[in-house]
A = this chain, B = another copy of it.
Amino acid sequence: MDIATIIGIVLGMGAIIGSILLMTPDFGMFGSISSFGIVFGGMIASLAVAFPLKDVLALGTAMGAVFKGVEAAEVGRKGVADLENHVGNINSFFFRDGAQMVVDGYSLEELTEILNTRIDYRELRENTQAGLFKSMGTMAPAWGMVGTLIGLIVMLSGFGEGGTDALGGGMSAALLTTMYGAIFANLFFLPMAEKIKTRIVFSSTMQNLQVEATRLIHQKKHPIIVREKLNSFVPPKEWKKEDS
Protein backbone atom coordinates (compact mmCIF):
# COMPACT_ATOMS: atom_id res chain seq x y z
CA MET A 1 0.00 0.00 0.00
CA ASP A 2 1.19 3.50 -0.80
CA ILE A 3 0.42 5.17 2.54
CA ALA A 4 1.19 8.68 1.26
CA THR A 5 -1.91 8.54 -0.97
CA ILE A 6 -4.11 7.36 1.93
CA ILE A 7 -2.67 9.99 4.29
CA GLY A 8 -3.19 12.69 1.67
CA ILE A 9 -6.83 11.83 1.03
CA VAL A 10 -7.65 11.55 4.75
CA LEU A 11 -5.86 14.84 5.46
CA GLY A 12 -7.60 16.61 2.56
CA MET A 13 -11.07 15.39 3.57
CA GLY A 14 -10.23 16.43 7.16
CA ALA A 15 -9.26 19.94 6.07
CA ILE A 16 -12.51 20.34 4.13
CA ILE A 17 -14.80 18.87 6.82
CA GLY A 18 -12.99 20.73 9.61
CA SER A 19 -13.28 24.09 7.87
CA ILE A 20 -16.99 23.48 7.24
CA LEU A 21 -17.69 22.51 10.86
CA LEU A 22 -15.92 25.68 12.06
CA MET A 23 -18.53 27.70 10.15
CA THR A 24 -21.75 25.75 10.46
CA PRO A 25 -22.99 22.62 12.24
CA ASP A 26 -25.42 22.01 9.38
CA PHE A 27 -23.18 19.64 7.43
CA GLY A 28 -25.99 18.13 5.36
CA MET A 29 -26.14 21.28 3.24
CA PHE A 30 -22.97 20.11 1.46
CA GLY A 31 -24.33 16.76 0.36
CA SER A 32 -26.05 16.89 -3.02
CA ILE A 33 -26.77 13.88 -5.17
CA SER A 34 -27.57 16.01 -8.21
CA SER A 35 -24.31 18.01 -7.94
CA PHE A 36 -22.37 14.78 -7.59
CA GLY A 37 -24.31 13.30 -10.50
CA ILE A 38 -23.58 16.04 -13.02
CA VAL A 39 -19.90 16.39 -12.09
CA PHE A 40 -19.16 12.67 -11.96
CA GLY A 41 -21.54 11.63 -14.76
CA GLY A 42 -20.37 14.39 -17.07
CA MET A 43 -16.73 13.61 -16.39
CA ILE A 44 -17.14 9.89 -17.13
CA ALA A 45 -19.09 10.84 -20.27
CA SER A 46 -16.24 13.05 -21.51
CA LEU A 47 -13.76 10.26 -20.73
CA ALA A 48 -15.77 7.76 -22.76
CA VAL A 49 -15.73 10.11 -25.75
CA ALA A 50 -12.03 10.88 -25.28
CA PHE A 51 -10.48 7.44 -24.72
CA PRO A 52 -10.87 3.92 -26.12
CA LEU A 53 -13.45 1.90 -24.15
CA LYS A 54 -10.90 -0.57 -22.78
CA ASP A 55 -8.84 2.28 -21.23
CA VAL A 56 -11.92 3.73 -19.52
CA LEU A 57 -12.89 0.28 -18.20
CA ALA A 58 -9.32 -0.16 -16.90
CA LEU A 59 -9.78 2.99 -14.80
CA GLY A 60 -10.38 0.90 -11.66
CA THR A 61 -7.08 -0.91 -12.23
CA ALA A 62 -5.29 2.41 -12.75
CA MET A 63 -6.88 3.80 -9.59
CA GLY A 64 -5.76 0.68 -7.70
CA ALA A 65 -2.23 1.09 -9.06
CA VAL A 66 -2.04 4.56 -7.52
CA PHE A 67 -2.71 3.06 -4.08
CA LYS A 68 -0.26 0.19 -4.51
CA GLY A 69 3.28 0.85 -3.26
CA VAL A 70 6.49 0.52 -5.29
CA GLU A 71 8.91 -2.21 -4.17
CA ALA A 72 10.90 -2.73 -7.38
CA ALA A 73 13.57 -0.19 -6.44
CA GLU A 74 15.47 -1.96 -3.66
CA VAL A 75 15.50 -5.21 -5.63
CA GLY A 76 16.98 -3.48 -8.65
CA ARG A 77 19.78 -1.88 -6.67
CA LYS A 78 20.62 -5.00 -4.73
CA GLY A 79 20.54 -7.16 -7.87
CA VAL A 80 22.99 -4.79 -9.54
CA ALA A 81 25.62 -5.07 -6.79
CA ASP A 82 26.40 -8.75 -7.18
CA LEU A 83 24.85 -9.33 -10.57
CA GLU A 84 27.79 -11.19 -12.04
CA ASN A 85 27.39 -14.00 -9.48
CA HIS A 86 23.65 -14.54 -9.22
CA VAL A 87 22.18 -13.94 -12.69
CA GLY A 88 19.81 -16.85 -11.96
CA ASN A 89 17.79 -15.52 -9.03
CA ILE A 90 17.08 -11.90 -10.00
CA ASN A 91 13.69 -10.60 -8.83
CA SER A 92 13.20 -7.89 -11.49
CA PHE A 93 11.34 -9.35 -14.46
CA PHE A 94 12.87 -6.83 -16.87
CA PHE A 95 16.45 -7.35 -15.67
CA ARG A 96 16.21 -11.19 -15.70
CA ASP A 97 15.03 -11.02 -19.32
CA GLY A 98 18.06 -8.90 -20.22
CA ALA A 99 20.46 -11.25 -18.42
CA GLN A 100 18.83 -14.22 -20.19
CA MET A 101 19.45 -12.54 -23.57
CA VAL A 102 23.16 -12.26 -22.72
CA VAL A 103 23.20 -16.02 -21.97
CA ASP A 104 21.28 -16.72 -25.22
CA GLY A 105 24.03 -14.99 -27.18
CA TYR A 106 22.23 -11.88 -28.51
CA SER A 107 24.59 -9.24 -29.91
CA LEU A 108 25.16 -6.07 -27.84
CA GLU A 109 23.24 -3.94 -30.37
CA GLU A 110 20.24 -6.28 -30.56
CA LEU A 111 20.05 -6.54 -26.78
CA THR A 112 20.24 -2.76 -26.27
CA GLU A 113 17.67 -2.08 -28.99
CA ILE A 114 15.17 -4.66 -27.70
CA LEU A 115 15.40 -3.41 -24.10
CA ASN A 116 15.19 0.26 -25.07
CA THR A 117 12.15 -0.35 -27.28
CA ARG A 118 10.53 -2.10 -24.35
CA ILE A 119 11.18 0.91 -22.07
CA ASP A 120 9.84 3.36 -24.69
CA TYR A 121 6.61 1.47 -25.23
CA ARG A 122 6.05 0.82 -21.51
CA GLU A 123 6.37 4.60 -20.97
CA LEU A 124 3.89 5.19 -23.81
CA ARG A 125 1.33 2.80 -22.28
CA GLU A 126 1.70 4.17 -18.77
CA ASN A 127 1.40 7.74 -20.04
CA THR A 128 -2.09 6.82 -21.28
CA GLN A 129 -3.05 6.12 -17.65
CA ALA A 130 -1.59 9.46 -16.52
CA GLY A 131 -3.47 11.12 -19.40
CA LEU A 132 -6.71 9.53 -18.21
CA PHE A 133 -6.36 11.08 -14.74
CA LYS A 134 -5.20 14.39 -16.23
CA SER A 135 -8.37 14.47 -18.38
CA MET A 136 -10.50 13.73 -15.32
CA GLY A 137 -8.75 16.58 -13.51
CA THR A 138 -9.66 19.07 -16.26
CA MET A 139 -13.13 17.67 -16.96
CA ALA A 140 -14.36 17.65 -13.34
CA PRO A 141 -14.11 21.46 -12.85
CA ALA A 142 -15.51 22.02 -16.36
CA TRP A 143 -18.61 19.99 -15.53
CA GLY A 144 -18.76 21.66 -12.12
CA MET A 145 -19.06 24.97 -13.98
CA VAL A 146 -21.74 23.57 -16.33
CA GLY A 147 -23.73 22.45 -13.25
CA THR A 148 -23.37 25.87 -11.63
CA LEU A 149 -24.50 27.57 -14.85
CA ILE A 150 -27.59 25.33 -15.02
CA GLY A 151 -28.38 26.15 -11.37
CA LEU A 152 -27.92 29.88 -11.94
CA ILE A 153 -30.08 29.89 -15.08
CA VAL A 154 -32.95 28.09 -13.30
CA MET A 155 -32.64 30.36 -10.26
CA LEU A 156 -32.36 33.66 -12.18
CA SER A 157 -35.24 32.88 -14.55
CA GLY A 158 -37.52 32.53 -11.49
CA PHE A 159 -36.02 35.64 -9.86
CA GLY A 160 -39.10 37.82 -9.73
CA GLU A 161 -41.28 35.17 -8.08
CA GLY A 162 -39.38 34.02 -4.97
CA GLY A 163 -38.11 37.45 -4.00
CA THR A 164 -34.56 38.32 -3.04
CA ASP A 165 -34.61 35.86 -0.14
CA ALA A 166 -34.73 32.81 -2.43
CA LEU A 167 -31.69 34.12 -4.31
CA GLY A 168 -29.16 33.17 -1.64
CA GLY A 169 -30.29 29.56 -1.29
CA GLY A 170 -30.35 28.98 -5.05
CA MET A 171 -26.93 30.49 -5.55
CA SER A 172 -25.57 28.45 -2.64
CA ALA A 173 -26.86 25.24 -4.24
CA ALA A 174 -25.48 26.25 -7.65
CA LEU A 175 -21.98 26.91 -6.26
CA LEU A 176 -21.95 23.43 -4.69
CA THR A 177 -21.33 21.88 -8.12
CA THR A 178 -18.28 24.09 -8.74
CA MET A 179 -16.95 23.07 -5.32
CA TYR A 180 -17.42 19.36 -6.07
CA GLY A 181 -15.54 19.74 -9.34
CA ALA A 182 -12.68 21.65 -7.69
CA ILE A 183 -12.28 19.09 -4.87
CA PHE A 184 -12.42 16.08 -7.20
CA ALA A 185 -9.78 17.65 -9.44
CA ASN A 186 -7.37 19.03 -6.84
CA LEU A 187 -7.51 16.31 -4.19
CA PHE A 188 -7.89 13.25 -6.39
CA PHE A 189 -7.37 13.36 -10.14
CA LEU A 190 -4.60 15.93 -10.76
CA PRO A 191 -2.37 14.64 -7.91
CA MET A 192 -2.97 11.04 -9.07
CA ALA A 193 -1.89 11.94 -12.60
CA GLU A 194 1.22 13.50 -11.05
CA LYS A 195 1.99 10.40 -9.01
CA ILE A 196 1.75 8.14 -12.05
CA LYS A 197 4.12 10.47 -13.93
CA THR A 198 6.62 10.45 -11.04
CA ARG A 199 6.51 6.65 -11.09
CA ILE A 200 7.08 6.43 -14.84
CA VAL A 201 10.26 8.50 -14.41
CA PHE A 202 11.33 6.31 -11.50
CA SER A 203 10.71 3.03 -13.36
CA SER A 204 12.56 4.32 -16.40
CA THR A 205 15.60 5.35 -14.31
CA MET A 206 15.66 1.86 -12.78
CA GLN A 207 15.30 0.14 -16.15
CA ASN A 208 17.92 2.33 -17.81
CA LEU A 209 20.27 1.36 -14.99
CA GLN A 210 19.42 -2.30 -15.62
CA VAL A 211 20.00 -1.96 -19.38
CA GLU A 212 23.41 -0.45 -18.63
CA ALA A 213 24.12 -3.28 -16.16
CA THR A 214 23.15 -5.88 -18.78
CA ARG A 215 25.40 -4.19 -21.35
CA LEU A 216 28.29 -4.22 -18.89
CA ILE A 217 27.86 -7.96 -18.21
CA HIS A 218 27.81 -8.52 -21.97
CA GLN A 219 31.01 -6.51 -22.44
CA LYS A 220 32.66 -8.26 -19.45
CA LYS A 221 33.85 -4.88 -18.10
CA HIS A 222 36.12 -4.53 -15.04
CA PRO A 223 34.07 -4.39 -11.77
CA ILE A 224 35.35 -0.88 -10.91
CA ILE A 225 34.06 0.55 -14.20
CA VAL A 226 30.78 -1.30 -13.63
CA ARG A 227 30.48 0.35 -10.22
CA GLU A 228 31.29 3.83 -11.54
CA LYS A 229 28.87 3.54 -14.46
CA LEU A 230 25.98 2.30 -12.35
CA ASN A 231 26.69 4.85 -9.60
CA SER A 232 26.17 7.65 -12.13
CA PHE A 233 22.42 6.86 -12.17
CA VAL A 234 21.85 7.30 -8.41
CA PRO A 235 22.49 10.22 -6.01
CA PRO A 236 26.06 10.35 -4.55
CA LYS A 237 24.94 9.47 -1.02
CA GLU A 238 23.53 6.11 -2.19
CA TRP A 239 26.73 5.12 -4.06
CA LYS A 240 28.27 1.66 -3.69
CA LYS A 241 31.73 2.17 -2.17
CA GLU A 242 34.82 0.17 -3.13
CA ASP A 243 34.55 -2.35 -0.33
CA SER A 244 30.80 -3.01 -0.30
Contact = CB atoms under 8 A, between A and B. Distances in A.
B12 A49 contact: yes
Contact of A15 (B5, B38, B135): B38
A147 interface: yes
Contacts of A152: 172, 175
Nearest to A171: B156
Contacts of A190: 46, 50
Contact of A232 (B23, B42, B115, B153): B115
Interface in A130-156: 131, 135, 139, 142-143, 145-147, 149-156
Given A38-B15, A101-B228, A45 B172 contact: no
Nearest to A44: B11
Interface string A151-194: 11111111110000101110111011011001101111011101
Contact of A179 (B30, B149, B179, B186): B149
Contacts of A56: 4
A161 B53 CA distance: 50
A9 to B, nearest CB: 6
6 contacts: A5-B48, A14-B41, A19-B34, A121-B234, A131-B198, A146-B186
